[in-house]
Structures are given as C-alpha cells and as structure tokens.
Homo-oligomer: A and B are copies of this chain.
Amino acid sequence: MSYKTKKVMPIGIVSELTGLSPRQIRYYEERKLIFPERSEGGTRKYSFLDVERLMYIAEKMEDGLQTYEIRRMEKQKNQEELRREMLRGQLNAAFRQRT
C-alpha cells in the first residue's frame, strides 16, 4: 500500500491540512463521503488520499452543493469507471489482446 492511501493521520492533523473543522470532517463521514479507519481505541485514522478527497468535498460545499449531491456525483463517477473497465475487459476477451 502506498503512502498516499495508508491511514495514519489523526483528525487534528487532517483538520490542519484541510482547513476544515473536526466537526465538519466527522459530519462528512456521517454522510458517507469519507471513510477513515479506526484504531483499537476508536480514534479515526486518515490517509493523504482522504485529505485530498476532503479538499475536493470542501470545494463542492463552497459551490453550494449538498452532501448527498456530492455523494451522488462520486457514485456516478465510480460507475462510469466500472463501465469503462468492463468494456475494456470485453474487448480484450473478444480480440485476445494483452495490454
């Protein structure tokens, strides 16, 4: 696992890095926009990728979007990616090509 995706930061650091309040960060988790891991004791752990995602979320919030709208956008993006990958898989299977 890369340094970018490894969950290692406490919420205080993430708050400093993103400019968001701990309250905001926890709320975005409640709204299924962000998914930190937990330590044994229950404290949240975030990755740099999470920090990037939070900054992206912050932008969208500033644009006036609601959390469920952002979540919907993310889901759409993922589904488009899936579609593209499945298409690529089918093409590969059909023509026996290797990338």
Contact = CB atoms under 8 A, between A and B. Distances in A.
Interface string A9-25: 11011000100000000
A28 interface: no
Size class of the A contact interface (CB-based, 8 Å): 10 to 19
Interface string A44-62: 0100100000000000000
A9 B9 contact: yes
A8 interface: yes
12 contacts: A3-B3, A3-B4, A3-B48, A6-B48, A8-B8, A8-B9, A8-B13, A8-B17, A9-B9, A10-B10, A12-B39, A13-B45
Given A8-B13, A8-B17, A10-B10, 9 more contacts: A3-B3, A3-B4, A3-B48, A6-B48, A8-B8, A8-B9, A9-B9, A12-B39, A13-B45
